[in-house]
Chains A and B, each alone.
Chain A
């Protein structure tokens, strides 16, 4: 193992000294108008410093209690999120929707005992199957803030369509492409679209479970929704279609670049040396996510480019 830099050693000592202090996410909801809110996360990878809070979560206030969209990266995040929402709305949370089975979006579920938690069927299955492995990995990356976190699969299946909570109409839109099942939530009164990780903004999209063709189709569908405000899964909230277009532009470029490289016989590590268009240059964590996307998506493309040899002269 490499020697720890001095600052890490110091942090480790401080962590021992402060073993009983809980990580504070300092959550502060941003009001989007008409009772819709967002908690904006950092445009970073998982680190000990950010406690895994690299994600946008949100809630919609109703007279029957808030509808929460995604519960965040840890039990502590979920607890702090729930306490803050219930203090501000003055009512217990009515229900929680989990957009997809990535660990920064659902590990706060533990904090919602007694509250109905919904997700698309494939999301519930993926969390039940892989949740513990995802928790182990996140604990390695984030450390203390993950203490006491384990996977709790959402208890109820979300169905697509229009629902009402406390007289407030929400549209549940069942899509896929970022993962096998991606739920978007549209709040009609505030015209806010919670897009989950189908939409990234100024942050490089991630692809560990992606199907790019389905993802692009999902973006086309989202573009037809009459939203004013869009909450991407990662990156700043915005008005208008720029983030959907940006995500589509990047995914199309990524797909074409990988296919073209595979057809030329480029090996996977050589992709890191290929140029990236300037318009993506200000995306957060660009090179690191590109390298990960190459690892996820390129193996299938490069082996497709090969041809089966007829066995000759077996000795």
Chain B
């Protein structure tokens, strides 16, 4: 009875929350982002979603980010986007019950922008963390020259990976897929990028699923924190239906 009463109250409260809350990062694009990603849903700015990222982009083609929503229970999905990037959506991560809601990745940045990580919990609420990324450099010299590695020309589709035990009993998986991750925004080069990645343990249980988009950096380098047993199998597919697979032994 109590639970029903709570649901009843929630139904009245939700429409009142539909107007997006004020943005602590004061992004000019926040109203559009709120409409685009969270229309009709409940959004809450929440320090429990941590975004680790340098304040300035030393290499604008590979800005390193680690998102950690491990302080929240029952995270179903993590959506990462950059308000002022020409393509805003970076990735959608579904950690499942056998993965910690945390992920490391690199992305391409066009100009100074907020980077947001939104964690959706089982009650449907989006918890938003984020930080500003500046484009300017630091002291003594310029940011690194912007140039792709070209590694994928020889090694397209190969996966490098490794599993480490973590102090907290989870396992850290790091993997790199050799792939150009073309955005389609550079003259004459059509979009061509990794779209999906799935991780399974040796019992065939799904550990996590990931959708990646154009802004993910060339040769995606990803970090996951996983439970599960034995080897981890990796299955991926890109926008031209190329399939990638490999197995990492513990």
Interface residues of A (CB under 8 A from B): 1-3, 44-46, 54, 102-104, 130, 133-134, 137-138, 140-141, 197, 206, 208-209, 234, 264-265, 267-270, 272-273, 285, 288-289, 291-292, 295-296, 299, 302-303, 305-315
CB distance B139 to A137 under 8 Å?
Answer: no
Q: Which residues of B contact A305 (CB under 8 A)?
A: 162, 174
CB distance A313 to B245 under 8 Å?
Answer: yes
User: Is B240 on the interface with A (CB-CB < 8 A)?
Assistant: no
Interface residues of B (CB under 8 A from A): 26, 28, 52-55, 58-59, 62, 64-66, 104, 112, 132, 136-145, 157-162, 164, 172, 174-176, 221, 223, 233-234, 243-248
Q: Which residues of B contact A209 (CB under 8 A)?
A: 141
Q: Which 6 A-B pairs have the closest CB atoms?
A: A309-B246, A295-B58, A267-B104, A306-B160, A269-B52, A206-B140
CB distance A273 to B52 under 8 Å?
Answer: yes
Given contacts A285-B139, A292-B138, 19 further A-B contacts (CB under 8 A): A2-B26, A46-B139, A54-B140, A103-B142, A130-B145, A137-B143, A208-B141, A208-B142, A267-B66, A273-B52, A288-B55, A289-B139, A305-B174, A308-B158, A309-B247, A311-B245, A311-B246, A312-B247, A315-B245
How far is it, in angstroms, between the C-alpha of A311 and the C-alpha of B246 when the chains are bound? 5
CB distance A197 to B245 under 8 Å?
Answer: no
CB distance B54 to A295 under 8 Å?
Answer: yes
CB distance A141 to B52 under 8 Å?
Answer: no
* Choice from A138, A234, A265, A314 contacting B162 with Cβ under 8 Å: A265
CB distance B159 to A299 under 8 Å?
Answer: no
CB distance A306 to B243 under 8 Å?
Answer: no
CB distance A296 to B144 under 8 Å?
Answer: yes
Q: Which residues of B contact A134 (CB under 8 A)?
A: 141-142
CB distance A267 to B140 under 8 Å?
Answer: no
Q: Which residue of B lies closest to A55 (CB)?
A: B140
Among A45, A130, A234, A269, find the residue whose CB has the most chain B CB atoms closer than 10 A. A269
Q: Which residue of B lies closest to A209 (CB)?
A: B141
Task: List 18 A-B residue pairs with CB atoms under 8 Å apart, sorted by A's residue number.
Answer: A54-B140, A102-B141, A134-B141, A267-B104, A269-B52, A269-B54, A269-B65, A270-B52, A272-B54, A292-B58, A292-B138, A295-B54, A299-B62, A302-B221, A305-B174, A310-B246, A311-B158, A315-B245
Q: Known: A1-B28, A265-B172, A267-B64. Is A197-B137 also a contact (CB below 8 A)?
A: no
Q: Which residue of B lies closest to A178 (CB)?
A: B140
CB distance B145 to A133 under 8 Å?
Answer: yes
Among A130, A299, A305, find the residue whose CB has the most chain B CB atoms closer than 10 A. A299
Q: Which residues of B contact A309 (CB under 8 A)?
A: 158-161, 234, 246-248
How far is it, in angstroms, between the C-alpha of A295 and the C-alpha of B56 when the chains are bound? 11
Q: Which residue of A lies closest to B62 (CB)?
A: A299
How far is it, in angstroms, between the C-alpha of A100 and the C-alpha of B113 when the chains are bound? 33
Q: Known: A295-B144, A308-B158, A312-B247. Is A270-B54 also a contact (CB below 8 A)?
A: no
Q: Which residues of B contact A141 (CB under 8 A)?
A: 136-137
Q: Which residues of A contact B137 (CB under 8 A)?
A: 137, 141
How far is it, in angstroms, between the C-alpha of A296 and the C-alpha of B140 when the chains are bound? 13
How far is it, in angstroms, between the C-alpha of A138 and the C-alpha of B132 when the chains are bound? 21
How far is it, in angstroms, between the C-alpha of A263 and the C-alpha of B52 when the chains are bound? 20
How far is it, in angstroms, between the C-alpha of A308 and the C-alpha of B154 when the chains are bound? 14
CB distance A265 to B164 under 8 Å?
Answer: yes
CB distance B221 to A303 under 8 Å?
Answer: yes
Q: Which residues of A contact B140 (CB under 8 A)?
A: 54, 102, 104, 197, 206, 208, 234
Q: Which residues of B contact A1 (CB under 8 A)?
A: 28, 112
* A176 CB to nearest chain B CB (Å): 16
* B105 CB to nearest chain A CB (Å): 9
* B77 CB to nearest chain A CB (Å): 20
Q: Which residues of B contact A291 (CB under 8 A)?
A: 54-55, 58
Q: Which residue of A lies closest to B237 (CB)?
A: A315
How far is it, in angstroms, between the C-alpha of A133 and the C-alpha of B60 when the chains are bound? 15
Q: Which residues of A contact B139 (CB under 8 A)?
A: 44-46, 54, 206, 285, 288-289
* B179 CB to nearest chain A CB (Å): 14
* A122 CB to nearest chain B CB (Å): 15
How far is it, in angstroms, between the C-alpha of A305 and the C-alpha of B145 when the chains are bound? 24
How far is it, in angstroms, between the C-alpha of A307 and the C-alpha of B234 when the chains are bound? 14
Q: Which residues of A contact B142 (CB under 8 A)?
A: 103, 130, 133-134, 137-138, 208
Q: Which residues of B contact A315 (CB under 8 A)?
A: 243, 245
* Choice from B52, B59, B161 contacting A306 with Cβ under 8 Å: B161
How far is it, in angstroms, between the C-alpha of A42 and the C-alpha of B76 when the chains are bound? 50
* Choice from B26, B104, B145 contacting A269 with Cβ under 8 Å: B104
* Choice from A103, A270, A289, A306 contacting B138 with Cβ under 8 Å: A289
* A123 CB to nearest chain B CB (Å): 13
* Choice from B64, B162, B164 contacting A268 with Cβ under 8 Å: B64
